[in-house]
Structure 1
Amino acid sequence: MPATDLEQIVNLCKRRGFVYPSAEIYGGFRSSYDYGPLGSLMLRNVKDAWVRAMVQERDDVMLIDAAILGPHAVFEASGHLANFSDPLVDCTVCKKRFREDQLEDRDCPQKMKGCTFTEARAFNLMFKTHAGPVEGEGTDVYMRPETAQGMFVNFANVLQTSRRKPPFGIAQVGKSFRNEITPGNFIFRTREFEQMEMEYFVPPAESAKWYEYWCQERMNWYIEYGIPAEMLRLRAHASDELSHYSAGTSDIEFKFPWGWGELEGIAQRTDFDLKRHAEYSKQKLDYFDQATNERYVPFVVEPAAGANRTMAAFLLAAYDEDMINDEPRTVLRSR
């Protein structure tokens, strides 16, 4: 049967060479993990399976590999500098910091007794660094918090070189970085992680149809690779959960030992990103349909999955135990 305790998988991963704590000989580095001989191959298999389904077995999606570092202008246009934040509070007793919306689940040394907190303030999750030998204005760069922006800023390049017309997609697999206030649950929420994202550009009138299509298509992918349907659900976001760019989002969630957790989000990003980048870059990011003599900015449907947490879900779903000579033996029954 699937694992019911996260420690079952944590211990298995360390013992069998799937995942190690990063910098372990120095006491470890919180929320950072290194993938061992089996883990690195399994993670690669997850990403390869995604690319195969999303790119290689289709004729309407192209794969790119954009830069990890990006200039200030990209993330100002995308809204990440203004909006990509979590509510941060300080405990006045233990002096630890927590997300305001996760206080009930906090790791509290006071056992949640006698705590008082400061007023919440916005904490931007982006990692900032400097390009070049001199720090100062104009040298600020950011490590991408998602792979999506590299696809939006390359929209015109891919449109021209591929000679595609909407609907078509641009896909990317790669690392992203978020300075999470409270990372945790093993490889589920870390500050360095890998994403598998695709931006699907469609005529505005077809956005709802393709949103429904990708919700079902992506759910089927997890089931095809062995996750039981009863361990998955599709949950629509409430209005107060939506990102600043979203007109509607649904999460594919997996039943982890601690409860339901997101594997992938499918979002209706509308034309927000292309219009913002067109405004800030002063470049045209639209499509001219010669058949209808119409020029429009495509809407975007985005399936965005986490490779690391997907690997964790596959491990949890595949976990089983046999009895050999009255001794339990751990096995993984995966596809």
Structure 2
Amino acid sequence: INPRNYTFRSREFEQMEIEFFCHEADSMKWYEFWRNVRHSWYTNLGLRSDKLRLRDQGPEELAHYSKACADIEYMFPFSDEPQELEGVAHRGNFDLTQHAKFSGKDLTYFDDEAWERDKAKFGGDKEAEKKAKNEPPYRFLPTVIEPSAGADRAALAFLCQAYTEDQAPDEKGVMQTRVLMKFHPKLAPTKVAVFPLVNKEGMPDVAAAIYRDVKKHMTAFYDEKGAVGRRYRRQDEVGTPFCVTVDGQTLQDGTVTIRDRDTLAQVRVSKDQVLPWLQEKLGGC
């Protein structure tokens, strides 16, 4: 391998693959299933559909044994054209044919469910049953549908999609450029950060108790150092979806502020309802 084109051509990489075995008669149905499911996996985790392309390979691109292959491609901000993230291939039974040929092993599969459904039609004829059980559709060499994804490429796509710059006020109300990572909650390394507004008046004790509660159920981060605005910015930069702040009002009525990373909107929630509120918003992430 001659390394080039950044992570798209390297000697070492992380690969994710599924080898899905099925009957040849159902293979195109399963190919279409995996083709669509794998495309949806990327959009469901936050990649914009207008930056994704599901491209079917032409006949001149297909391997000699392949009936169909689709590439899932993403338009990276540094690229002139979409780059491949994953291929979904209908590989026929070529792989198992070659394994069987060179290993000398019988890699055929016997479909017990189909046999139990149909065996009555042979009327108990043992010879006919024996013959049928060794022929299609009951015994066959499976067809392989293979989704093959580059984990490093996908990670880079999610990072590129998440990186955002906008304008937000600083502690003095002056508009400044804010850098944030708009990760889908399932990909965010930390789901929530918990702060005391100031490091006194019992606020750290209340904040620490909330932190201990939520961290049993999701990845959480506690921070009491520096101005709260700077703490917000630090969490924006690592993609934390929500920040919980214990302030003076918490000590009066038991409510806390929860700030949304993307919209900057803040709501007040009872400190006893922080965990269920987060679980509802994060959808079990």
> TM-score when scaled to structure 2?
0.52
Alignment equivalent of 1:299, drawn from 135, 140, 143: 143
Aligned counterparts, 1:315-334, within 5 A: 315-324=159-168, 325=174, 327-334=176-183
Contact 1:231 1:254 in 2 (8 A): yes
Find 2:95's aligned residue among 257, 262, 273: 273
Q: 2:85 aligns with which of 245, 263, 272?
A: 263
1:227 pairs with 2:47: yes
Query: Quick check: which one's helix share is greater?
Result: 2
Kept in 1: contact 2:3–2:11 (CA 8 A):
no
Between the aligned partners of 2:156 and 2:8, the Cα distance in structure 1 is 7
Determine the structure 2 residue equivalent to 1:247.
Answer: 67
Secondary structure at 1:246's aligned position in 2? coil
d(CA) in 2 for partners of 1:261, 1:318 = 17
Count of residue pairs the alignment pairs up: 155
Question: For 2:17 and 2:29, how far apart are their aligned partners in 1?
Answer: 19
Report if the CA contact (8 A) 1:202-1:298 is conserved.
yes
Question: Which amino acid in the other structure matches residue 184 of structure 1?
Answer: N
Aligned-partner Cα distance in 2 for 1:188–1:332: 23
Contact 1:285 1:297 in 2 (8 A): yes
Instruction: Tell me which amino acid in the other structure corresponds to 2:19.
Output: E
CA distance in 2, matches of 1:195, 1:244: 23
User: Based on CA coordinates, which of the two structures has the bigger radius of gyration?
Assistant: 2
Q: Distance in 2 between matches of 1:314 and 1:306?
A: 12
Query: Equivalents in 1 of 2:148, 2:26: separation in Å?
Result: 19
Q: Is the 2:69–2:89 Cα contact (8 Å) retained in structure 1?
A: yes
Give the superposition deviation at 1:328.
2.8
- The gaps in structure 1 that reach 5 residues or longer are 1-178
Q: For 1:308, which of 143, 149, 152 is the aligned residue?
A: 152
**Contact 1:251 1:262 (8 Å CA) reproduced:** yes
- Per the TM alignment, residue 282 of structure 1 is displaced from its structure 2 partner at its CA by 0.4
- Asked whether the equivalents of residues 56 and 71 of structure 2 are also in contact (C-alpha less than 8 Å), the reply is yes
- Equivalent residue, structure 2, for 1:207: 27
Among 94, 107, 110, the alignment partner of 1:288 is: 110
The secondary structure found in structure 1 opposite 2:183 is coil
| Equivalent position SS for 1:191 | coil
- Give the equivalent residue in structure 2 for 1:217: 37
Counting only pairs closer than 5 Å after superposition, residues 26-105 of structure 1 correspond to structure 2 as none
Letter in 2 for 1:256: F
Query: Which residues of structure 2 form unaligned runs of 5+?
Result: 116-132, 169-173, 185-285
8 Å CA contact 1:183–1:191 kept in 2: the answer is no
SS of residue paired to 1:330: strand
Equivalent position amino acid for 1:334 in 2: F
Opposite residue 5 of structure 2, the aligned amino acid is G
SS at match of 1:239: coil
Q: Is the 8 A contact 1:245 1:273 kept in 2?
A: no
Cα deviation for residue 327 of structure 1 reads 4.2
Q: Secondary structure at the match of 1:285?
A: coil
SS of structure 2 residue aligned to 1:277: helix
Say if 1:208 and 1:260 are closer, same or farther in 2 by CA, change over 3 A.
same
- Alpha-carbon contact 2:17-2:146 (below 8 Å) kept: yes
**Could you tell me the TM-score, scaled by structure 1's length?**
0.44
Please state how far the C-alpha of 1:241 moved relative to its aligned partner: 1.4
Q: Deviations over 1:37-85 (max 9, x none)?
A: xxxxxxxxxxxxxxxxxxxxxxxxxxxxxxxxxxxxxxxxxxxxxxxxx
State the one-letter code of the partner of 1:332.
M
SS of equivalent to 1:213: helix
The structural deviation recorded for 1:326 is 5.0
Amino acid at match of 1:283: K
The residue identity in structure 2 corresponding to 1:309 is R
Cα offset for 1:319? 1.0
Instruction: Give 3-state SS (helix, strand or coil) of 2:105's partner.
Output: coil
Per-residue deviation, residues 134-178 of structure 1 (Å, max 9, x unmatched): xxxxxxxxxxxxxxxxxxxxxxxxxxxxxxxxxxxxxxxxxxxxx
Q: Indicate the SS of the match to 2:18.
A: strand
Contact residue 264 and residue 305 of structure 1 kept, 8 A: yes
Contact 2:72 2:84 in 1 (8 A): yes
Q: Which residue of 2 aligns with 1:63?
A: none
1:200-229, Cα deviation, whole Å (9 max, x unpaired): 000110000000001111111111111111
